[in-house]
Amino acid sequence: MIDRRTALAGVVGMFGAQLFAPIARAAGLAPSETVPVISQGPASVQIFAPAQRALMAVLSERVIPTTDTPGALAAGVPDYIEKLLADWAEPEDRIPILSGLDAIEMRSLTDYKLSAAIADAAQQDALLTLAMEDKIPGGKAFFEAFRQLVITGYYTSEIGMTQEREYLPVPGEYNGEFLYSQINKVYSA
């Protein structure tokens, strides 16, 4: 089966020139003298305070929710984000994510009088939209980096590669008469 790092190299083309630096480092596209090559496993340090981690987890599920396929939580995206920020990010790379989570939390407390982590889905979507539209402090920088983290975490996970997409470890035979209408998933190899 394809490993996560190889899959990551294939996913990064989606983001073009604005690739979030830790993702580029993990894909081997932006070497760093201060960030060593890190093996798989849990994050080497805890990046998020418990409230930030809870918010990050629910917001990742809002970016890729559970539908007929598992969502970001089932794919382990929150652990992936923490690992990437702990082991592949420079300290300044973490700033947009951490400050963005704090800004979303403050806006939720102001607008809804409750923590964003326990707000309903519509309220969380509204908060993410405010970030995307740069209507909260640092919102645009947070949203773009966070979206990239969630998407790469999901589509490089086993769930993303085998349940959301159709995994073919070896290309199948050539069939020149294969009807396009028979394709129901995007394939990854």
Tell me whether residue 174 is in a domain. no
pLDDT at 146: 96
**Backbone angles phi and psi of 188, in degrees to 5:** -130, 145
CB atoms within 10 A of CB 1: 9
Provide the number of structural domains found in the chain: 1
Residue 179 inside a domain? The answer is no
pLDDT at residue number 164? 73
Give the residue from 119, 121, 95 showing the smallest Cα distance to 107: 119
* 59 has a pLDDT exceeding 80: yes
Rank 25-34, 110-119, 143-152 by mean pLDDT and report only the highest. 110-119
Average pLDDT of the residues in 63-72: 92
Q: Which of 17-21, 96-100, 181-185 has the highest mean pLDDT?
A: 96-100
Task: Evaluate whether residue 181 is within a structural domain.
Answer: no
Give the pLDDT confidence score for residue 42 in this predicted structure.
83
- What is the DSSP pairing of strand 187-188 with strand 166-167? parallel
Question: Is the four-CA dihedral 30, 7, 36, 82 of positive or negative sign?
Answer: positive
- Domain coverage including residue 119: 4-29+49-164
pTM: 0.74
